Amino acid sequence: MSFHKKLAVFDLDGTLTESKQPLDKEMAFLLLELSKKTMVAVISGASYEQFRAQFLSHFTSPELAGNNLILLPTSGSQCYEFDDPTGDWKLVDEIPFAPADKEKVLTVLREIISSGQFDIPTESQGDYIEDRGTQITFSALGQRATQESKQAWDPDKVKRQKIKTEIDRQVPGLSISFGGMSSVDILPAGQNKATGLKRFLARIKLPIADVVFVGDSLFAGGNDLSVKETGIETLAVSGPAETKALISDWLT
């Protein structure tokens, strides 16, 4: 498949890496090679701190200097670019979450956990709730749950839909989607990966016709679906192996 876009955007979990697992050396190499050919952005519900731990471990400052790699954490409600003079990443754009709405969401999530009505384990593997500044992420099994336990907990998304319905009932109007295999991402009204990505495109003055998006959650309720609905060309993958094959094809 020939590559003819000016920007390639990738989801992180389930697309470039397994859920919350580090980027491997082969994927890091492929992304660097692709960034020599076109601009590359990674958008995820993950926080910037998680990007540092999960995504950036295989990149060095000399490799990133003058590079075309962009980070869009918390579903694109933040944008980081590499700053050559400091040799580090710099926050260049951010969409805030209203403190009053955030506090309401946190209260509802605590009620959901304690109610015993949503099949939430009484002992979590890490924190249930992560305040990522511009996004709140609820991990039903805890942030450090194993792949196997997450895969088994809600494969048909029925449990997370029940959680979403309860949040909608108490704090209507927010943007809620399902991240990974056991998470719920909560953003301000109207904010999702699509609006985050469109905000970035407006800032760099790039039309959607010049963009391709690659993700594993383009299904109904998935946190990548909103990108497809913008008219941006989207390619669905089943995991990192398929993404590697796609990038390798583009590079050749």
Span 19-49, pLDDT tens digits: 778 999 999 999 999 999 999 999 998 889 9
Task: Examine the domain organization and report whether 155 and 215 are in the same domain.
Answer: no
Task: Examine the domain organization and report whether 166 and 211 are in the same domain.
Answer: no
Task: Examine the domain organization and report whether 123 and 164 are in the same domain.
Answer: yes
Task: Examine the domain organization and report whether 89 and 104 are in the same domain.
Answer: no
Please state the pTM of the whole predicted model.
0.80
Give the range of the structural domain holding residue 129, as residue numbers without chain letter.
99-187
At 144, which CATH number?
Answer: 3.30.1240.20
The larger pLDDT score, comparing residue 3 to residue 236, is at: 236
Using the 3D structure, point to which of 138, 168, 187 is the last residue of a domain. Answer: 187
**CA–CA separation, 129 and 131 (whole Å):** 7
Q: Please report whether residue 181 resides in a domain.
A: yes
Give me the number of domains the chain comprises.
2
How many other C-beta atoms are found inside a 10 Å radius of the C-beta of residue 63? 15
Q: Does 129 have pLDDT greater than 80?
A: yes
Q: State the average pLDDT over residues 81-86.
A: 90
pLDDT digits (tens, 9 = 90+) for 196-205: 999 999 999 9
How many other C-beta atoms are found inside a 10 Å radius of the C-beta of residue 49? 12
pLDDT digits (tens, 9 = 90+) for 226-242: 899 899 999 999 999 99
Q: Please report whether residue 2 resides in a domain.
A: no
- Which residues, 6 or more positions from 143, have their beta carbon under 8 angstroms from its beta carbon? 20, 125, 126, 127, 128, 130
Q: Does 1 have pLDDT greater than 70?
A: no
- Biggest CA–CA distance in the chain, Å, is 54
Beta-bridged to residue 129, according to DSSP, are 138
Q: Give the pLDDT of residue 190.
A: 85
At 53, which CATH number?
Answer: 3.40.50.1000
